[in-house]
Amino acid sequence: DDRYIFMGTAQGTVKKTPLSDFSNPRKNGIIAVALDDEDFLIGAEITNGSQDVILVSDAGKAVWFDEEDVRPMGRTARGVRGMRLAEGQQVLSLLIADSDQQTVLVATANGFGKRSALASFRHSGRGTQGVIAIAASERNGKVVAARLVGDDDEIMLITTGGVLIRTRVREIRELGRATQGVTLIALDAGEKLAGLEKVVETDDDGEAGEAGELDGQASESPEQESGPDPEQE
């Protein structure tokens, strides 16, 4: 089966290139994508050509479209528009999904987050603004990360002050997209959430319970309805 490298940039451009195009690398590397001025790569994933693509912006919007909507391109091509962004916004996360049974966890700078079923999003289509994944409100702050997660996964949250928390995804209950989200981590004054990553266990890792002081639990704050969902094409 053909495999591809699917790439996304901060300015919302996406591109997929056959993996075979990278079969003869040079010592100093080879060009994978041509970037516009002030643009940069935010993610690259190996795909099978027919998976689902989700782009999440720092404004809390998410675009979901079929990988097949992006034709294969050569290494020096710039790509096509994956997400339409307002001025000052950028794409933070490129997610590749195999099933709409997965959930999307979105985290914001002020320590809040929301876990929603991928199936609750709609296929907004490539090149659109997408739909709201979480409100980038004064309470929440801008989105800093988004990941596809399952009940059995664990995540690491890290703050700008260097504090690291490990928590189980199942402790973050699923919410609808029209809610503000819950507290993922309590922040000290002046701190922000820097990011989150899914924990990948190896044979050398101990039991999750041995994390000790790293173990945490997401606490729920009162859910605030954000009003009608202004889905935009």
pLDDT at 43: 96
Question: Residue by residue, what is the 3-state secondary structure of 105-156?
Answer: EEEECCCEEEEEEHHHCCCCCCCECCEECCCCCCCCCCEEEEEEECCCCEEE
In a domain, 50, yes or no: yes
Ranges in the chain, pLDDT < 70: 1, 178, 202-233
Q: Which residues contact 91 (CB under 8 A, 6 or more apart)?
A: 8, 9, 10, 11, 12, 42, 55, 56, 57, 58, 82, 83, 85
| Number of compact structural domains in the chain | 1
In a domain, 45, yes or no: yes
The CATH number assigned to the domain holding 199 equals: 2.120.10.90
In a domain, 151, yes or no: yes
pLDDT, tens digit, 9 for 90 and up, residues 48-80: 999 999 999 999 999 999 999 999 999 999 999
In a domain, 127, yes or no: yes
pLDDT, tens digit, 9 for 90 and up, residues 91-121: 999 999 987 778 999 999 999 999 999 988 8
Reported pTM: 0.83
Provide the residue range defining the domain that includes 122: 4-22+31-216
In a domain, 39, yes or no: yes
In a domain, 231, yes or no: no
In a domain, 136, yes or no: yes
In a domain, 51, yes or no: yes
pLDDT at 224: 44
